Amino acid sequence: MSAQVVESHNVLPFNAELINKYSKYVKTISKRVVEVEFCWFQKDPRQSFNMRMTEKQFEEAKKNIRSKKLLQMKFETFSDLIAVVFANDADIDTYTLRNTFDHLFDQNNNGTIEREEFESLLTLLQAFHHEKHLQNNFQLTESFSRVFEDRNNHISFKAKRATALITGSTSGIGHDLAKGFAAKGYNIVVNGTRKEGYQIAEQLKLEHNIDAIYLPANMKNADELNTVVEKTLEKFERIDVLINNAGVQYVAPIDEFPIEKWRDIIDINLTSAFVLSKAVWQQMKKQHFGRIINMASVHSLVASEYKTAYVSSKHALIGLTKVLALEGAPHGITVNSLCPGYVRTPLVDKQIHNQAKYHNISEEDVISKILLTKHAIKEFVTTDTLTELTLFLASAQASTISGTAIPIDCAWSSS
């Protein structure tokens, strides 16, 4: 229901999208919200009610609360935040809910909701409750506790900070992804096989003021992968983002390709993504939010000789992505794949150096004449590009992007 706005200029003063969408009436003075009426509609009309709030009531009620965040908050900001409470579940995504409750409650930004913070909000609502504009006789604390209990089905107060599990994150693309997500405030589960993993997790904690743990695992062992998910949930209580990044490569003509290498590549590049996605699925359904991002390859879209297992695994990963996108759609879970061309990493730098020695040519010639011959744009893909795109796919803004295979290949797959 669109709000009836009462004001000479008929313009709201700030980004008040939630007030506009969920309020019945808004009054502004000098482009400042001073009064707003919300409607909470229920299937049982006896449980529905209207509540009108004014700036004067809000400021008066502040004298009886202890929450620093609410004391410092302006009425129009409070109105925009509390609007979420009156929204229908289907209309509000989990990130908006989490952002709302963080702003209303968590004054210490420590990921927990103190009782006094919850009571402060009820005190404010109680002030509005006593006004004649509140229709239908009901017990405020009981009713609003029920509202917040419903909302708590979708978010976890104690695990406010989002958690990202990134496989193969002790080096290369995965390591840079871990740093990028940590910089955005995610808790990080570092995974890999390098002994430096523990040090990497500690460094992320210190540099970005987040929490991080290192959980090594044999990517070919389903039991170990399931244990990684179990330990992640024990530690953080939620998994918001799963990035299936771990992968291996082997190059040989098919008549010389060892069956053992085929199995290893399929297990690590494909089966591990299936096992981990399955392991996080129930938790993401419970949260009604999840982002699974598969680090595929341009070889998910095109083929190159001598890479039988790698190309097969990456093509199959796109199939897995599409199936999970369909299954996750009703549950707030999106699943996408990124398909990069050659990415400049320390491992690629080492390959450039070795090939220059082997072919007795300069490293510049290795880059231009060997590695980037299929890149129409004669550049490497950067890990910064992959990180920014992955962060976007993990965001609430990407809720309608799912089942895609996104090329980041300098137009390689366009030829």
pLDDT value of position 29: 79
Is the predicted pLDDT of residue 109 greater than 70, yes or no? no
The conformational region for residue 388 under phi > 0 = left, psi -120 to 50 = alpha, else beta, is alpha
* Whole-number Cα distances in Å, 35 to 3, 49, 310: 12, 17, 62
Q: Identify the residue with better confidence: 213 or 54.
A: 213
Is the predicted pLDDT of residue 90 greater than 50, yes or no? no
Is the predicted pLDDT of residue 108 greater than 60, yes or no? no
User: Which residues does 137 contact at the CB level (< 8 Å), separation at least 6?
Assistant: none
Separation of alpha carbons 240 and 155, rounded Å: 11
R_g of the chain, CA atoms, integer Å: 26
User: Span 351-358, mean pLDDT?
Assistant: 86
Condensed to tens digits (0 to 9), the pLDDT of residues 27-41 reads: 777 777 778 776 655
Whether domain 169-343+381-414 has CATH 3.40.50.720: the reply is yes
User: Which residues does 221 contact at the CB level (< 8 Å), separation at least 6?
Assistant: none
Active site residues: 310
Condensed to tens digits (0 to 9), the pLDDT of residues 357-404 reads: 888 999 999 999 999 999 999 999 999 999 999 999 998 889 899 999
pLDDT value of position 48: 54
Task: Output the CA torsion 229→233→239→244 (10° steps).
Answer: -10
Condensed to tens digits (0 to 9), the pLDDT of residues 121-162 reads: 666 666 665 444 333 333 444 444 444 444 443 333 333 589
Q: Identify the residue with better confidence: 63 or 240.
A: 240
Condensed to tens digits (0 to 9), the pLDDT of residues 217-257 reads: 999 999 999 999 999 999 998 999 999 999 999 999 999 99
Provide, rounded to the nearest whole percent, the portion of the chain with pLDDT above 90.
53
- What is the pTM for the complete model shown? 0.66
Domain spans of the chain, in order of start: 4-152, 169-343+381-414
pLDDT value of position 127: 62
3-state DSSP: the chain helix, strand, coil percent, rounded to 5?
50, 15, 35
